[in-house]
Amino acid sequence: GEAFVQDIDPVYQKNVQLVSGSFDQHDLSYSCVLLPRLPNHNLTGELVDLLKNEISRLCLAFGWRLEQLNIRPEFLLWVVGVTPDISASAVIQHIREQTSTVIFAESVRFTKDNPSGDFWAPGFLVIGGRQSLTESLVQNFIRNTRSRQGIDQDYNRDNNA
């Protein structure tokens, strides 16, 4: 089927042209997804620009290549190219911690609603390589994460009013 990131109309999507020779064949890419911890904390408005700028800054700072960035109201998806010594969990940890710090510094509401210090839901979805994540895979991840949190599917609809 078609790649998920091409089938949707994202709030923000960035596809970066790959420069041949910039990474050799031993370099790795990870496709990563995080969800807001609280389902009613949608990634929209000023939060989209904040995440776009912060993730771009972090990738530059850590020497990673941001290959794709897709910010949807219910999830953050990005593809990053790294050197072989960088694990997927290290990428996720840096993005999770740094973006949480910036989001909570900018939003009193998010900080008040979520005093955990981590903006993102427990867990993450990561696929090695530049494979496009399918919509069904991401939706299953969202459903499973919310279920593990004890949140049913009606929570988001009922609490967005």
**Strands 65-72 and 75-82: what pairing?**
antiparallel
pLDDT of 22 strictly over 70: no
83-104: pLDDT as tens digits: 999 999 999 999 999 999 999 9
pLDDT of 126 strictly over 80: yes
- The rounded distance, in Å, linking the Cα atoms of 137 and 95 is 21
Task: With CA atoms as reference, report the closest residue to 32 among 10, 1, 5, 60.
Answer: 5
pLDDT at 124: 96
pLDDT at 143: 95
Instruction: Give yes or no for a contact between 138 and 128, defined as CB atoms under 8 angstroms apart.
Output: no
pLDDT at 154: 59
Average pLDDT of the segment spanning 17-32: 63
pLDDT at 66: 95
Instruction: Give yes or no for a contact between 76 and 66, defined as CB atoms under 8 angstroms apart.
Output: no
- Dihedral angle at the C-alpha atoms of 127, 133, 139, 143, nearest 10 degrees? 0
pLDDT of 32 strictly over 60: yes
pLDDT of 26 strictly over 80: no
- The rounded distance, in Å, linking the Cα atoms of 15 and 79 is 9
Q: What length is written for the chain? A: 161
Average pLDDT over all residues of the chain: 84
- The rounded distance, in Å, linking the Cα atoms of 79 and 69 is 7
pLDDT at 74: 96
57-78: pLDDT as tens digits: 999 999 999 999 999 999 999 9
pLDDT of 34 strictly over 80: yes
